[in-house]
Structure 1
């Protein structure tokens, strides 16, 4: 029986990481490609998932038996704060179209990618899978957060009404090759990598927005890719799973910036602009459920993963998503 796995958002950070793992792990291994598998990494150029007809056309074209749904309108803190309605509407439509096309074409399984921002702002830490709906998300990204939270509601409803095997993953902050480095739109690590690159190139100060004190759990995209592959093959419950390093692996934004300065060999002036917003101070998430299910799993340590990410950016600057028009 052949398996066709459609990855929406296949050209993005996590999609490219899954592609890397599938192409580089030994065939037949736990995270490598199986002999009966066909992997399709679809990008937005193949169909606008905000359009139900184009979404259905994509499903009819590839006839996926399994779907890893990564496609989303995403952005950093400041973009989320500015475009709350846009982030809510567009992601609601994308998710609804993908899940309904999967149901109509009888896909055997769908894993959708959520985010830790779905969790309530005021909640007891660490975050775990049972706390998603216990209060309102942080105001800074409530549009995006609510749209992603609704996927969990839809998964349960599709299971209850139609018996669909739809579930979701909740990664913490992801970074790695093929990230979005657009300074207006990027998450913290790719934004700082690009900023440090420009500061070094232009011999200007490297200024980090905020105090540098907030703490985050960062997961390397290629580690996350393996966890998605595990979830696709070995996890069949509707309840979501947090895919993350442990809560003892929190890293401060200052530690991130320090590691980027080191990896980039930046020798210039380096400061923090404390007049800029920090966002949430910390939002530690527990990976106990994941570890209880997957057994042994080795995460790539933060500094080597960050060094690999910086090297990829430097090697691929001309084609990376930087938001800068290149000659």
Structure 2
């Protein structure tokens, strides 16, 4: 049952990103970022009292950077490709934390998959270089988000800390969003679609993952999360008409294989040990 909860989280998150893409033509990627983070922060603040400390500030900054650059990336390149590239962040972090040579093999395999995506032609044109760079920056922010989130969790701030970080992220992205979208950001139809994005990309995934992690082993959790690029490709094809070629799908398959291999790299260690803490970081909760 827990596996299906995580799978539902993965699908919900990527379909939320696809719906967010539909906002770009009306309020731009910065506007969509501000709207999604703002509504999600308000939802969390209603449920739990926000807590503010140094850890929440750092996490909020990484959330703003991760979401902002990712949405700018999917405005330029296909959703499945962007998620695949962004996946390098947590995968590389897991290898660095592990310090085992075999884990760098998985990172190399993932890099090979990204290279396959980068050199082939997509719908007759090369991938947008700026979009690829933005996805790589989002990957770096995702790795930082994992570390910041772990620090917040170990500080005992819990959901209140997440609510505080979400409010900080919303405050950081709102000025840029307003500068590009203006009053359009508050039109009823835009707010309704933004609420749907916040539910699919934030509220539902976080709820499902928290429930799943109560009983699911970190390795199993990581294997299911490794399917994210595939879910993104599916959402892009169904909602955005981004039909990937066979070569693209092969590149995504390489990255998924690397993610599964990294997640299964070793058996779970006893709770509380350094090895177990590293296992928790193999493939963490996404943006």
Q: Which has the higher contact order (CA 8 A, sep 6+)?
A: 2
Which is helix-richer, 1 or 2? 2
Task: Return the TM-score normalized by structure 2.
Answer: 0.29
Q: Find the structure with the greater CA-based Rg.
A: 1
